A and B are shown apart, each in its own frame.
Chain A
């Protein structure tokens, strides 16, 4: 990584979250192999969960209404996953903020009768500037604690406390940790200018990464989340740049005459893919991030563009119009064994390989408009996920459960997120003139 000459951003957000195992009731049952929610089941029902306001402990006043804030933010985070049905507080039989906190004292019958299968409770305490909070997850049916964590930090750390425990809840109930520690990078357009931005998975915390007053497009995260590569017209040619993902220092990586289009990093971070037109013909190249060496992968007089790695780094999907229309092809990582993947329709582009390895998402022209589709890596099982307006630039979440994309309905563009089966669509960002590309970050571990 040092080969880049880009300094790691040392002014990181200092998090002093002391996370401890929580042994309030003797021993927390080890995470059982029980799967409460089978995400993969086509008949998955939303899982009913109740979240009570947190109980304030100690003498210090409840600054900023933390009691309700914890419960509401946790509900919001879980709701976004699309897996939960959050039970309305008005249905609760227990008085708010007064409830018991141990499985011995909780009246589980009061919760099962309103349909809750899981129950989240918690308490918090201020001491000076420090905030400590206990988060507890109970199995209502079995009447026992199934996850518990204590977090200690400053008040501004409370959002991360919520997101961390949301990850714990998801892990306990589904076996997966979710995407609570991820961001989405995109190119946002205002007039004739576009810049690279990042935003948290839940639509908060918009951050401008570039300010070139020109066209900056095609953001791609490094696998450690520290850098973003992108293409910018800053110097009157579409050149490749790298920047700290939090913004700041940047460096030009390649400036061949013609296109220098930013492509994805390999899963091991040792190389990245790019498209160059330096020989008057768009070809896909692989750039070694360790020594800066470059290798050409495609040799075809047609357009070859938009490369995407398989999660094991062994294969590359890309777009070529070698058969007359843009279609998706797959080749080995050394350029050998090229085979065509898509045959339906005459415009299939923007492939991205699922982190789970089994599906490729892409955009396809259907009745003159573009729609998001997925397909097995052997070309079978083609599924169209969107149908309203124009939908482009798909990108997978690092757990392969969600897809971010740009949706334009009646000329208004938005960044949307949906579950990988096309359900649970929500707006991530809107209000800019246009959005060009989305790229979901790897897990950032609340850095």
Chain B
């Protein structure tokens, strides 16, 4: 440790000297070119013709246009970033299975409730339809904010697994389905009441087009 720190110190000293010298040399060079330019400009100004004036104006106009384009590009970039940020914040564009992309669970439970069966049937039918055969399904398991991070991650995994088993029984090929648990970390509703919690105890079905 002592040796390496000594080396580090020496290296730092050498580097800082090098930087100081490099800085000085650069400054001197910059100054010289500036003086040269000035001299040239003075000479040129004396011999300026109408033609040159026109060319100058043209150049200025072009510069103006370039500046406008640059600003436009910047605006577009900012808008694109904003849109991306918004997309990241709320990734759900309209899902092809909108209307049947969620099923809900009771607190600390992962059994499929009777009222979820209809939704699961719709999901299975959609996936089993010939025109959707190139889609896979990701089942996201979610929980409400109460309870441990770890236990809720397990619970969310169970909720996703329950739906996957149910869908497999309805004929959806297992290799088209995968699960991911977000535990209580991705609530649909940020509220802290039973109404919000009920919404947040869910499986979220996301269909993804298979890459060729």
Q: Which A residues contact B (CB, under 8 angstroms)?
A: 10, 12, 14, 187, 189, 191-192, 194, 215, 217-218, 233, 236-238, 257-259, 261, 275, 277, 280, 282, 303, 305-306, 319, 321, 325-326, 347, 349-350, 363, 365, 370, 390, 392-393, 411, 436-437
Contacts and interface: CB of A to CB of B under 8 A. Distances in A.
A319 B181 contact: no
Interface string B1-43: 1001100000000000000000000000000000000000000
Contacts of A393: 148-149
Nearest to A12: B1
A257 B160 CA distance: 13
B58 interface: no
A347 B154 contact: no
Given A280-B161, A325-B108, A305 B179 contact: no
Nearest to B155: A303
A207 B157 CA distance: 31
Nearest to B91: A192
Closest 10 pairs between A and B when the two form their complex, measured CB to CB: A349-B148, A282-B154, A303-B154, A305-B154, A306-B150, A350-B148, A349-B151, A277-B157, A436-B149, A305-B150
A370 B146 contact: yes
Nearest to B5: A14
A259 B185 contact: no
A303 B151 contact: yes
Contact of A282 (B1, B146, B147, B157): B157
Contact of A10 (B4, B151, B161, B185): B4
A261 B150 contact: yes
A191 B89 contact: yes
Given A10-B4, A259-B153, A347 B181 contact: no
Contact of A192 (B89, B148, B158): B89
Given A257-B178, A259-B157, A275 B148 contact: no
Interface in B192-210: 192
B157 to A, nearest CB: 5
Contacts of B4: 10
Contacts of A215: 182, 185
Contacts of B161: 277, 280
Interface string B61-90: 000000000000000000000000000110
Interface residues of B, number: 26
Given A238-B153, A305-B151, A326-B151, A194 B146 contact: no
Nearest to A215: B185
17 contacts: A194-B185, A215-B182, A233-B180, A233-B182, A258-B181, A259-B181, A303-B154, A305-B150, A305-B151, A306-B151, A319-B150, A349-B147, A349-B151, A350-B150, A350-B151, A370-B147, A392-B149
B73 to A, nearest CB: 25
B176 interface: no
A349 B158 CA distance: 17
B5 A319 contact: no
Nearest to A349: B148
Given A10-B4, A306-B151, 12 more contacts: A215-B182, A218-B150, A233-B180, A233-B182, A275-B150, A303-B158, A305-B151, A319-B150, A363-B148, A365-B146, A390-B146, A393-B149
Given A238-B181, A259-B181, A306-B148, A192 B153 contact: no
A105 B111 CA distance: 78
B154 A218 contact: no
Nearest to A280: B161
Contact of B150 (A237, A257, A349): A349
Contacts of A411: 192
Contacts of A257: 178
Interface string B122-156: 00000000000000000000000011111101110
B157 A258 contact: yes
Contacts of A325: 108
A152 to B, nearest CB: 16
Contacts of B192: 411
Given A258-B157, A437-B149, A236 B180 contact: yes
B4 to A, nearest CB: 7
B165 to A, nearest CB: 9
A72 B5 CA distance: 33
A436 to B, nearest CB: 5
Nearest to B157: A277
A319 B179 CA distance: 22
A319 B148 contact: yes
A277 B146 CA distance: 22
Contacts of A261: 150, 153-154
A185 to B, nearest CB: 14
Contacts of A237: 180
Contacts of A303: 151, 154-155, 158
B6 to A, nearest CB: 11
Contacts of A282: 154, 157-158
Nearest to B182: A215
Contacts of A259: 153-154, 157, 181
B15 to A, nearest CB: 16
B31 to A, nearest CB: 36
Contacts of B108: 321, 325-326, 347
Residue in B88, B147, B150, B157 whose Cβ sees the most chain A Cβ within 10 Å: B150
A238 B5 CA distance: 39
A363 B148 CA distance: 8
A390 B179 CA distance: 30
Nearest to A193: B88
B86 to A, nearest CB: 12
Contacts of B153: 238, 259, 261, 305
A321 B161 CA distance: 16
Contacts of B88: 192
